[in-house]
Amino acid sequence: MKRRPTVNPFPALFILGFAIISLIIILYKAPVKHRPRPEGVVAFVIDDWGYSLNNLDSLFQIDRPVTLAVLPHLLYSEKISEKVRGYNRGYDIILHLPLESKSGKASERDTIRRNMKKDRALSILKSDIDAVPGAIGVSNHQGSRATENRETMKIILEELKKRNLFFLDSRTTPVSVCGSISAKIGLRYAERDVFLDLAQKKDEKQYRAYVRKQIRELINVAKAKGSAIGIGHDKKITLEVIKESIPDIEKENIKIVPLRKLVGRYEK
Whether residue 53 is predicted with pLDDT greater than 60 in this model: the reply is yes
pLDDT tens per residue, range 57-80: 999 999 999 999 999 999 999 999
CATH code where residue 149 lies: 3.20.20.370
The mean pLDDT value for 81-92 works out to 86
- Residue 15 belongs to some domain of the structure: no
Residue 94: band (very low, low, confident or very high) from pLDDT cuts 50, 70, 90:
very high
Range of the domain at 65: 40-265
The C-alpha atoms of residue 64 and residue 48 are separated, in whole angstroms, by: 19
Which 3-state string (H, E, C) describes 134-172? CCCEEEEEECCCHHHCHHHHHHHHHHHHHCCCEEEECCC
State the pLDDT at residue 29.
Answer: 57
Percent with pLDDT over 70 in the chain: 84
State the pLDDT at residue 4.
Answer: 54
- Residue 5 belongs to some domain of the structure: no
Mean pLDDT of the chain: 89
Q: Which residues contact 261 (CB under 8 A, 6 or more apart)?
A: 41, 43
Residue 103: band (very low, low, confident or very high) from pLDDT cuts 50, 70, 90:
confident
- Residue 8 belongs to some domain of the structure: no
Instruction: Please count the structural domains in the chain.
Output: 1
- Residue 246 belongs to some domain of the structure: yes
The alpha carbons of the chain give a radius of gyration, in whole angstroms, of 27
Residue 86: band (very low, low, confident or very high) from pLDDT cuts 50, 70, 90:
confident
State the pLDDT at residue 17.
Answer: 61
Residue 38: band (very low, low, confident or very high) from pLDDT cuts 50, 70, 90:
confident
State the pLDDT at residue 172.
Answer: 96
Largest CA distance in the chain: 116
The region that residue 164 occupies, defined by phi over 0 for left and psi between -120 and 50 for alpha, beta otherwise, is left
State the pLDDT at residue 10.
Answer: 56
The mean pLDDT value for 111-124 works out to 96
Whether residue 180 is predicted with pLDDT greater than 80 in this model: the reply is yes
- Residue 172 belongs to some domain of the structure: yes
pLDDT tens per residue, range 213-261: 999 999 999 999 999 999 999 999 999 999 999 999 999 999 999 999 9
Cα of 50 vs its chain's centroid, Å? 19
